[in-house]
Amino acid sequence: MNDHYYSKQPRAAHQPYELRLELGGIELSLISDAGVFSRRAVDSGTLILLSHVPPPQGGLILDIGCGYGPIGLYYAASCPRCIVHMTDVNTRAVALSRQNASRNGLVNVVVHESTFPPDADLRFDLIITNPPIRAGRRVLLEIFAGAQQRLHPGGRFAFVARTQQGAKRLATDVERYFGNVSDVARGGGYRVYAAVKES
């Protein structure tokens, strides 16, 4: 069986790779590895997402499917007053995110080996994801439903997906859970959507 970035324990031989994320005045030095998503460069979808979904001024942020950490760590660096929770089922990704948080001196980060943080009472101001499309529709719907439950009223959920991988259909799914969805940005074959939890 081949490894996927959503495999819990990748068996691929380690191939550490150093890369940089520079965006909006934030510079991060990141280590990636075999067995995690987009290990050679921060992918275009993530960059579009980060460019069009600003962090809140404070509060709690959740990055679902964090990989080696570019999304969550970018928000942690952009909003020192925020606490950023990052989750992934991939043990290698979790270790890399923790390493990269330390590498960049970011102390406002908590990384969990799971899809959602184990404290079910936590409520977030922003939940954001470049979702694991290849993990399958059931997993994606669980993420959307869980995001709606884990937000504060007025909190925002945002995601990015390739147009050719069913971004519009995913937006329809999100609207079913939230009662609303907006088209935030598009470019390079990607679309960014957001929804707000209504009180």
* 31 in any annotated domain: no
Q: What is the CATH number of the domain that holds 143?
A: 3.40.50.150
Q: What was the pLDDT predicted at 8?
A: 61
Residues in the chain: 199
pLDDT digits (tens, 9 = 90+) for 5-42: 455 665 666 777 899 999 999 999 999 887 676 656 78
Q: What was the pLDDT predicted at 198?
A: 94
Q: Is the pLDDT of residue 84 over 60?
A: yes
- Note the maximum CA span of the chain: 47
pTM (2 decimals)?
0.92
* 26 in any annotated domain: no
Number of domain units in the chain: 1
Select from 3, 67, 7, 62 the least CA-distant residue to 31: 67
* 158 in any annotated domain: yes
Angle, CA of 31, 32 and 35, to the nearest 5°:
160
Q: Using CA atoms, how far apart are residues 159 and 35, in angstroms rounded to an integer?
A: 22
* 71 in any annotated domain: yes
pLDDT digits (tens, 9 = 90+) for 151-180: 999 999 999 999 988 899 999 999 999 999
The DSSP H or E segment spanning 185 is strand 182-187
* 55 in any annotated domain: yes
* 134 in any annotated domain: yes
Domain region containing 186: 42-196
* 74 in any annotated domain: yes
Q: Which amino acid is at 122?
A: L
* 32 in any annotated domain: no
